[in-house]
Amino acid sequence: MDASSRSDGSRSFRIEDESVTRGREVKIFIDGRKVDAFEGESVAAVMMVDGEVAMRTTIDGEPRGVFCGMGVCFDCLVVVDDVPNTRACMTWVKEGMQIKSQRGLSAAN
């Protein structure tokens, strides 16, 4: 592992291990936009990289996003292939997957 420091004081790490590889590249759709992803990535990870901080809103309209990242809090609920209340952090991307931000508790946005 190789570490380097940035000007803001944070550090980045590069893991040089050839046993770690990315999965096959896939195309998914987030709120109708085509997005590149790789098999093995979670929906939450791809959405965050794509700039989505709030993946859903509560029935009162409060924004929610990834909190625990391990399937416990249910703050990351999205609509995946028309199935509402799908945890983005526990769902792996697949070719052609349709993901929508969720409003309230249903698939209707």
C-beta closer to ligand FES: residue 87 or 100: 87
Selected range binding ligand FES among 2-10, 18-26, 69-77, 78-86, rule: CB under 6 A: 69-77
**Coil vs helix vs strand at 89:** helix
- 29, 49, 53, 67: residue in contact with ligand FES (rule CB under 6 A): 67
Number of residues forming the site for ligand FES (CB under 6 A): 12
Sign of torsion over alpha carbons 50, 53, 58, 60? negative
Q: Is 69 in the site for ligand FES (CB under 6 A)?
A: yes
Residue 23 vs residues 41, 42, 67: alpha-carbon distances, Å: 8, 12, 25
Which DSSP state fits 45?
Answer: H
What are the residues whose beta carbons fall under 8 Å from the beta carbon of 89, sequence distance 6 or more?
42, 43, 44, 66, 68, 69, 70, 71, 76
Minimum Å gap between C-beta 96 and ligand FES is: 22
CB of 51 vs ligand FES, minimal distance in Å: 17
**Which residues, numbered 70-99, are part of the site for ligand FES (CB under 6 A)?**
71-76, 87, 89
DSSP tag of 33: E
Which residues sit at the interface with ligand FES, rule CB under 6 A? 66-69, 71-76, 87, 89
